[in-house]
């Protein structure tokens, strides 16, 4: 069974995906997921920023196995092509039977936004004395749009969305689509919650722009030498990640600042009291993306198409 993006879009909904991602992160932190480090190869197709990469991401969880192959070619934007492309193969854990192969671009987009929505829903009540109302977004691409849609399912009090982009016209376009406002970076960074979804290789968010107790959701700059956040953002912050080892291995924001991960999101979801999330300093959630999230999203699609079928046990 091959599922093109149009078929995936028909069957992948945030209403089902967000709770499934929440449970997957709990399972990951509890040791119920087998997931080796992703393998990344440089394509060698060009020099500098146009040099693409190819990654392989396998995982085993529950009754299924999956592997995602994903590419990132920043130069594709100038060609009118997607910068990220992916394919996901879903298999039965019991027999190794291939269950489906599906386009992974939309899955990557939606599972990433769902992780941030889960992080917000878990961290905001522990951190803020009252529900936050403002969201500042740094970035105006596909992930920025996907995050607004995901937050609409997890953040009932959200009524002030501010968008900044290095290309003001892009910020204005996204603002018109989402009911947000295009603003200067200082105004976006002054929000209760700040989301970074840029492709910048060097910091765009500086600690001096943030409120002392801001919640920062850092999603872009996935790579051990890439950064969206300066040292001042991370200095003194309580740092949360999907995976300690992945963030400390793959996130330039964490590695190059010398920050340590204080808790995994799955640990907080399983037992909020055990992690003692503070209210008197900034919280930084760093997302790098994991194969279990892709497996989980692909499983949601497969089950929607096969409601009466389960893989052999």
pLDDT in tens, 23-43: 999 999 999 999 999 999 988
Q: Rounded mean pLDDT of the chain?
A: 94
Q: Is residue 312 part of a domain?
A: no
Both 65 and 120 in one domain: the answer is no
Q: Given a cut of 90, is residue 130 above it in pLDDT?
A: yes
Q: Is residue 313 part of a domain?
A: no
Query: What's the whole-number mean pLDDT along residues 294-298?
Result: 98
Percent of the chain topping pLDDT 90 = 84
For 81, 164, 166, 284, the CA distances from 197, given in Å and listed in that order, are 19, 10, 12, 14
Both 36 and 162 in one domain: the answer is no
CATH number at residue 9: 3.30.1780.10
Q: Is residue 257 part of a domain?
A: yes
Both 173 and 207 in one domain: the answer is yes
The confidence band for 312, taking pLDDT boundaries of 50, 70 and 90, is low
C-alpha to C-alpha distance for 89 and 100, rounded to whole angstroms: 6
For 9, 11, 108, 136, the CA distances from 105, given in Å and listed in that order, are 10, 14, 5, 25
Q: Given a cut of 80, is residue 267 above it in pLDDT?
A: yes
Which residues form the domain of 35? 2-107+292-305
Query: What's the whole-number mean pLDDT along residues 183-199?
Result: 97
Both 89 and 129 in one domain: the answer is no
Q: What is the pLDDT of residue 50?
A: 77
Q: Under a CB-based contact definition with an 8 Å cutoff, are residues 161 and 180 in contact?
A: yes
Both 131 and 232 in one domain: the answer is yes
Both 162 and 68 in one domain: the answer is no
Both 138 and 152 in one domain: the answer is yes
pLDDT in tens, 88-101: 999 999 999 999 99
Both 230 and 132 in one domain: the answer is yes
pLDDT in tens, 134-176: 999 999 999 999 999 999 999 999 999 999 999 999 999 999 9
Q: What is the pLDDT of residue 83?
A: 84
Domain count, the chain: 2
162 CB contacts (<8 Å, ≥6 apart)?
134, 135, 136, 137, 180, 181, 182, 183, 187, 188, 191
CATH number at residue 189: 3.40.50.720
Strand partners for 57: 68
Q: Is residue 268 part of a domain?
A: yes
């Amino acid at each position: 069974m091959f599922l093109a993006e149009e078929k995936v879009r028909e069957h992948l909904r945030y209403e089902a995906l967000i709770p499934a991602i929440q449970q997957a992160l709990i399972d990951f932190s509890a040791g119920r997921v087998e997931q080796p480090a992703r393998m990344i190869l440089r394509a060698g197709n060009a020099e500098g920023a146009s040099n693409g990469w190819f990654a392989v991401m396998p995982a085993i969880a529950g009754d299924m196995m999956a592997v995602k192959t994903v590419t990132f070619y920043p130069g594709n934007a100038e060609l009118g092509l997607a910068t990220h492309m992916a394919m996901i193969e879903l298999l039965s854990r019991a027999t190794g039977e291939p269950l489906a192969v599906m386009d992974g671009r939309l899955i990557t987009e939606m599972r990433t936004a769902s992780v941030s929505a889960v992080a917000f829903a878990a961290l905001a009540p522990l951190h803020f004395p009252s529900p936050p109302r403002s969201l500042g977004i740094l970035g105006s691409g596909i992930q920025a749009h996907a995050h607004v849609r995901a937050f609409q399912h997890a953040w009932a009090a959200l009524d002030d969305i501010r968008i900044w982009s290095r290309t003001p016209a892009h910020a204005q376009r996204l603002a018109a689509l989402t009911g947000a406002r295009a603003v200067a970076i200082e105004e976006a960074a002054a929000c209760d919650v700040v989301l970074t979804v840029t492709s910048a290789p060097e910091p765009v968010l500086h600690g001096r722009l943030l409120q002392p107790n801001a919640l920062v959701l850092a999603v872009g700059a996935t790579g051990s030498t890439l950064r969206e956040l300066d040292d001042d953002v991370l200095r003194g912050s309580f740092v949360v990640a999907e995976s300690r080892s992945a963030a400390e291995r793959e996130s330039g924001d964490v590695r190059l600042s010398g920050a340590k991960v204080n808790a995994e999101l799955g640990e907080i979801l399983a037992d909020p009291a055990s992690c003692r999330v503070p209210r008197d300093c900034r919280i930084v959630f760093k997302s790098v993306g994991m194969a279990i999230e892709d497996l989980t999203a692909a499983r949601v699609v497969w089950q929607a198409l096969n409601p009466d079928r389960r893989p052999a046990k």
